[in-house]
Amino acid sequence: MSTRGIRQALPLTPKLGRRYDDHTLANANRGEIVVNTKDQLLASVPIIAAAAVLLYAAPASAQWLNHPNPGIPRSADGKPNLTAPTPKTLDGKPDLSGVWNHMRGQNQPPRDAVGQPGTIFDFMPPGSQISFQPWAEALYKQRAKALGAGRPTEHCLPHGVPDAMMYGGAMKIVQTPVLTIILFEELYHFRQIYTDGRGAPQTVLPAWYGYSSGKWDGDTFVVETVGFNDQSWMDDSGLPHTESLHTTERFRRRDVGHMDAQITIDDPKAYTKPFSIDISFNLAANLDLLESLCENEKDAAHIAK
């Protein structure tokens, strides 16, 4: 049985890969898009049949079913204690390891099963702004008007940073003293974050996930990433970037079951000033990842451009 078939047999709520749902977010004003939960960025854009096609069959979160992951404190009845103190590694650092599901964005409205693509604005507080360079704003509006048609994932190419952590399925963090790995269930991609003291490489071949190095600032894991190519999108609506993109991620595990990440986007060729988003995660204490490959892709040819 295929992975898709296995998931259909599980008593879990499917996410059907990416979410393409109604959202109320933004107004454009002099090169800025301001988060506003009362106005719709594309309220006049009809939801077209292609949106349903965009829900390609990448399986969603939920993995080995009801397998208690080791190292998680539990009560006598086996239930995980998700408010127990943050676990530590042998060197005393917070241990971020585990399978994590992202939570709804603080500015994310209720969504239907099919509709407009999710955006980075879901994870920005009301009143936050993105100040675009003119070309980037024009491109973003063009992509958003088309409901994100043409996104890289239509062709089995990776989600970007931070997009891969906002709307995909579960992710798994594996932390060691010299390397932290983030495994994404959707499309079966991964990131490597080196903690052996190396900085950014001097010469790089531009990459979909860039080149990441990490260090600890107290109990916060700080990840600096550069060396991106300019092909990925930063959200499902088509937020663009250039090869000058530099992201700073700050991960903090509050307790056993909860982790927060603040991600700062700095790309002076696309935006006139940096901006940040906040993503929260819940631990999936009894689940693990399953293989989820983008194979036999036949949807892209039928998606309206």
Cα torsion 51, 52, 58, 61: sign: positive
**The domain containing residue 198 runs over which residues?**
3-302
Q: Is pLDDT at 136 greater than 90 in this prediction?
A: yes
Report DSSP letters for 136-181, one per residue. Answer: HHHHHHHHHHTTTTT-GGGGTPPP-TTHHHHSSS-EEEEE-SSEEE
Of residues 15 and 140, the one with the higher pLDDT is: 140
**Cα(40)–Cα(42) distance, rounded to whole angstroms?**
5
- Structural domain tally of the chain? 1
Place of tokens 């991964």: 190
pLDDT in tens, 247-299: 999 999 999 999 999 999 999 999 999 999 999 999 999 888 888 777 766 66
Query: Is the CB of residue 61 less than 8 Å from the CB of residue 284?
Result: yes
pLDDT reported for residue 31: 54
**Cα(173)–Cα(183) distance, rounded to whole angstroms?**
6
Query: Is the CB of residue 276 less than 8 Å from the CB of residue 292?
Result: no
pTM: 0.78
pLDDT reported for residue 64: 59
pLDDT reported for residue 301: 66
pLDDT in tens, 201-215: 887 799 999 999 999
Split at pLDDT 50, 70, 90, the class of 159 is: confident
